[in-house]
Amino acid sequence: TFASSGWLDGRQRRQVDVRSGFVRCGLNSQAKGSAYIEAGNTKLICCVYGPRETERKDETNMKSGRLITDMRFSPFSC
């Protein structure tokens, strides 16, 4: 059958085949840390900035923090 032959679906790759990939660290010099990752047709850039001062001075509790994320898509990817 189709499942017993080792194929996941209609793709040209079996479950045991390795997808090609590429990773590069330190891509953005303005960030504290950054990485560029390619896996198949997927491309991802991740940058980490901070720590930064809190905007509200009443949020000075050192037992917790706030994580702010920003996700953007390239116009050609949508």
7 falls within a domain: no
Domain that holds residue 34: 15-51
- Does 65 reside within a domain? no
pLDDT at 72: 84
Total number of domains in the chain: 1
Does a structural domain hold residue 28?
yes
Type and span of the H or E element at 24: strand 21-25
Q: Which pTM value belongs to this model? A: 0.57
pLDDT of residue 1: 44
Q: CA–CA distance from 4 to each of 7, 9, 33, 57, 60 (Å)? A: 8, 11, 43, 61, 58
Taking only the tens of pLDDT, the chain with its 78 residues reads 445 555 555 566 676 777 788 999 998 999 999 999 998 788 889 999 888 777 776 666 667 777 788 888 877 765
pLDDT at 10: 59
Is 26 part of any domain? yes
